[in-house]
Amino acid sequence: MSAVNLLDFDLDGLAAFCAGLGEKRFRAVQLFRWIHQKGEADFERMTDLAKSLRDKLAGRCEVRPLAVVSEHRSSDGTVKWLFDVGGGNAVETVFIPEDDRGTLCVSSQAGCAVGCRFCSTGHQGFSRNLSTGEILAQLWHAEFALRRQLQLPAGERAITNVVMMGMGEPLQNYAALVPALRTMLDDHGYGLSRRRVTVSTSGMSRMIDRLRDDCPVALAVSLHAPADDLRDALVPLNRKHNLDDLFHACQRYLERAPRDFITFEYCMLDGVNDTPGHARQLVDLVQGRSPCTTPGLQIPCKFNLIPFNPFPQSGLKRSPRERVQAFARILQDAGIVTTIRKTRGDDIDAACGQLAGEVSDRTNAKERLQRRREVIPIHSAGSAEAGA
């Protein structure tokens, strides 16, 4: 029987597991803090746990890291890890340092079934959902590896923000996602505020409602088009959950959201969705004047315009910089906060939309992963050291 992975539990889950071992909740809190606040995986080093509990844990549990296939650093400080999740699948995780924050972009699935036209992950197809432990292992590894590498003082966090914006549609892996989010928010875990944890979705309306009820963190929506016909072509999920459906879900979400706006992601595609006419349609869309949505339905929002990162199979091109700036100005002149995402980590293929990983539904994925191991350095994941 394989060992129980303690990264699979949020605090309530761990307390229930510990209760099954005859242990009180405060023991689960101690254990949770050792794992998520100190990065400790060795039960023997959890010195304030009773010896009897350490013995029980050692026999049946582990803190299971993901095996690191590679770690690449960009000249701008961005770090990209490729993690092996077994069966020929690998997922990517990216750390983006900025002056006032350190953001980790985390994957939720190996591959993705949504198939957005401009997304290299979508072009790979879907392999499988990640477990809670595999989602959290990305954060766990990154946080404690960075603390070590950056030689941060005890207690100082490397990662201040998490965006579920890596490979996969997080709301299609809901059961694993929610305990991972709760662990990120838990004061005994990573202690991040709800405003600093963002779930990005391509627009699964019913699941947006569930997230609002279960764990309302900040919400980003991959919009990419101002009208249903174009969005149907770029984001196939739109054929099932059209803009009116999506905007009603956004409106309901904002009733409980930790931010009072939705972030709309908009990937700028040359000649496809980037004209001044598209920008004016977008203004109408979010200000309740679009024929695609219920008249008067307005969504408080900000826009994040994303320069497209071309990849050969897409047949799409990046919009020229001047066109992106003109597009942004139209939104800003209409009173909508709009930012143009800086491209980060271009030199290590870590920019948005370049997260491709490897998935097993391609016939020769295992061989390709093996070849990749042969040409890039392999770092052993090991266990993260106590960093606090």
| Catalytic (active-site) positions | 92, 352
CB 204 to ligand SF4: min, Å: 9
Which residues within the stretch 184-203 sit at the binding site for ligand SF4 (CB under 6 A)? 202
Please report how many Cα atoms fall inside a 13 Å half-sphere around the Cα of residue 257, on the Cβ side. 25
Out of 39, 102, 122, 357, name the contact with ligand SF4 by CB under 6 A: 122
CB 292 to ligand SF4: min, Å: 20
Number of residues near ligand SF4 (by CB under 6 A): 12
Q: Which stretch binds ligand SF4 (CB under 6 A): 22-30, 119-127, 145-153, 275-283?
A: 119-127
- State which residue has the least CB distance to ligand SF4: 122
Q: Which stretch binds ligand SF4 (CB under 6 A): 117-125, 147-155, 175-183, 185-193?
A: 117-125
By CB under 6 A, residue 112 contacts ligand SF4: yes
How far is CA 6 from its chain centroid? Answer: 21
Smaller CB separation from ligand SF4, 161 or 222: 222
Q: Which residues, including other chains, have CB under 8 Å from residue 340's CB and lie 6 or more apart?
A: 305, 307, 324, 325, 328
CB 357 to ligand SF4: min, Å: 10
> What is the Cα–Cα distance from 297 to 310, expressed in whole angstroms?
34
> What is the Cα–Cα distance from 224 to 246, expressed in whole angstroms?
13
By CB under 6 A, residue 130 contacts ligand SF4: no
- Binding mask 53-92 vs ligand SF4 (x if CB under 6 A, - otherwise)? ----------------------------------------
Q: Which stretch binds ligand SF4 (CB under 6 A): 31-39, 50-58, 164-172, 374-382?
A: 164-172
Strand-pair partners of 303: 264, 338
> What is the Cα–Cα distance from 184 to 159, expressed in whole angstroms?
11
Copy the structure tokens of residue 109. Answer: 């699935």
By CB under 6 A, residue 168 contacts ligand SF4: yes
Smaller CB separation from ligand SF4, 114 or 145: 114
Q: Which stretch binds ligand SF4 (CB under 6 A): 30-38, 118-126, 147-155, 156-164?
A: 118-126
Smaller CB separation from ligand SF4, 235 or 330: 235
Which residues within the stretch 203-222 sit at the binding site for ligand SF4 (CB under 6 A)? 222
Q: Which stretch binds ligand SF4 (CB under 6 A): 39-47, 110-118, 143-151, 304-312?
A: 110-118
By CB under 6 A, residue 170 contacts ligand SF4: no
- Binding mask 318-347 vs ligand SF4 (x if CB under 6 A, - otherwise)? ------------------------------
CB 317 to ligand SF4: min, Å: 18
- How many other CB atoms are there within 10 angstroms of residue 374's CB atom? 7
By CB under 6 A, residue 350 contacts ligand SF4: no
CB 300 to ligand SF4: min, Å: 23
Smaller CB separation from ligand SF4, 67 or 356: 356
CB 104 to ligand SF4: min, Å: 16
Interface residue list for ligand SF4 (CB under 6 A): 112, 114-116, 119, 121-122, 167-169, 202, 222
